[in-house]
Amino acid sequence: MLDVAAIRREFPTLQRRIGDHRLVYLDAAASAQTPRVVLDAMDRYYRTARSNVHRGVYPLAEEATAGYEAGRTALARLLGADPRGVVLTRNATEACNLVAYGYVRHHLRAGDAILSTVMEHHANMVPFWHAAQANDLELRHVPITSDGRLDLDAARELVADGRVRFAAFTHVSNVLGTINPVAELAGIVRAADPHAVVHVDGAQAAPHLPVDLSALDVDSYAVTGHKLCGPTGIGALVARPELLERMEPFMTGGEMIRDVTLDGATWNEIPHRFEAGTPMIAEAIGLGAAVGFLEDLGLDVVRAHEVELGGMFLAGLRDAAGVEVHGPTDMTDRGAAISFTVEGVHPHDIGAVLGDRGVCVRVGHHCCKPLMRELGASATVRASLHVHNDADDLEPLLEGISAARAMFARPAVPA
Ligand code: PLP
Q: Average pLDDT of each block of 10 consecutive residues along the chain (415 residues)?
A: 96 95 97 98 98 91 97 98 98 98 98 98 97 97 96 98 98 97 98 98 98 95 98 98 97 93 96 97 98 98 98 96 93 95 95 97 93 91 97 97 90 62
CA of 121 to the centre of ligand 1 (A): 7
Distance of CA 24 to the CA centre of its chain: 21
| Torsion over CA: 283, 27, 306, 222 (sign) | negative
Helices and strands in the chain, H and E counts? 15, 17
Omega within 30 of 0 (cis) for the link into 271: yes
CA of 203 to the centre of ligand 1 (A): 6
Reported residue count of the chain is 415
SS3 for 30?
Answer: coil
Q: What are the beta bridge partners of residue 167? A: 115, 198
Ligand 1, atom nearest to 232 Cα = 15
Ligand 1: which residue has its CA nearest to atom 15? 91
Dihedral class, residue 117 (left if φ above 0, else alpha if ψ from -120 to 50, else beta):
beta
CB-based contact 344:410 (threshold 8 Å): yes
- Whether ligand 1 lies within 6 angstroms of the CB of 224 is answered as yes
**Residues marked as catalytic:** 367
User: Which own/partner pairs from 411-414 qualify as long-range (CB within 8 Å, at least 24 positions apart)?
Assistant: none
Output the pLDDT for position 413: 63
Q: How many CB atoms lie within 10 A of CB 184?
A: 12
Output the pLDDT for position 258: 94
Q: What are the beta bridge partners of residue 179? A: 172
CA of 237 to the centre of ligand 1 (A): 13
**φ, ψ dihedrals at 178, nearest 5°:** -55, 130
Spatial CB neighbours of 147, under 8 Å, sequence gap ≥ 6: 327, 328, 329
- Whether ligand 1 lies within 6 angstroms of the CB of 96 is answered as no
Output the pLDDT for position 56: 83
Amino acid at 372: M
Strand pairing category for 24-25 and 362-364: unpaired
Distance of CA 15 to the CA centre of its chain: 26
For 69-132, give the DSSP string: HHHHHHHHHHHT--GGGEEEESSHHHHHHHHIIIIIHHH--TT-EEEEETT--GGGTHHHHHHH
Amino acid at 102: G
Ligand 1, atom nearest to 226 Cα = 15
Residue 400: exposure state from Cβ atoms within 10 A (0-12, 13-18, ≥19):
buried
- Whether ligand 1 lies within 6 angstroms of the CB of 236 is answered as no
Per residue in 338-370, pLDDT (tens digit) is 999 999 999 999 999 999 999 999 999 999 999
Question: Which residue, among 231, 232, 205, has the nearest Cα to 218 in the 3D structure?
Answer: 205
Rg of the chain over all Cα atoms, to the nearest angstrom: 22
Q: How many CB atoms lie within 10 A of CB 134?
A: 13
- Whether ligand 1 lies within 6 angstroms of the CB of 65 is answered as no
Output the pLDDT for position 415: 60
